[in-house]
């Protein structure tokens, strides 16, 4: 994590897009420490495989910190909301309304 912290500071990164919720969960402490906004793109297994969801504590901290969340479908969007994601954090393009 030290290399990630160093790189984010060196390149003055002002927002991070993380592919997969499990990866977001993994680097969340660094982003919080540096106060770097987070956008998470969920793809599939990260929203449906119980082992990963449990390991990431149902993404509670990720959902709390993320500025936006991208889901690959409206079905997945509903799944993430059922897990505790607030609708205000969902990126608009996947929403049918």
pLDDT of residue 94 exceeding 60, the answer is: no
Q: Could you give the CA distance from residue 36 to residue 28 in angstroms, rounded to a whole number?
A: 10
Q: What is the pLDDT of residues 49-88, one digit of tens each?
A: 999 999 999 999 999 999 999 998 889 999 999 999 998 8
- Predicted TM-score of the model (pTM): 0.88
The predicted structure's pLDDT at residue 93: 58
Q: Tens of pLDDT along 7-42?
A: 999 999 999 999 999 999 999 999 999 999 999 999
SS3 content of the chain, % helix, strand, coil (to 5): 60, 10, 30
- Domain 2-94: which topology? Rossmann fold (3.40.50)
């Amino acid at each position: 994590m030290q290399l990630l912290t160093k790189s984010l500071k060196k390149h003055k990164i002002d927002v991070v897009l993380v592919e997969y919720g499990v990866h977001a969960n993994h680097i969340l402490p660094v982003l919080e420490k540096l106060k770097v906004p987070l956008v998470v793109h969920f793809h599939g297994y990260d929203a449906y495989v119980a082992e990963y969801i449990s390991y990431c504590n149902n993404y509670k901290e990720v959902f709390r910190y993320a500025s936006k969340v991208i889901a690959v479908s409206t079905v997945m969007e509903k799944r993430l909301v059922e897990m505790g994601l607030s609708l205000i954090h969902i990126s608009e393009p996947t929403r049918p309304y």
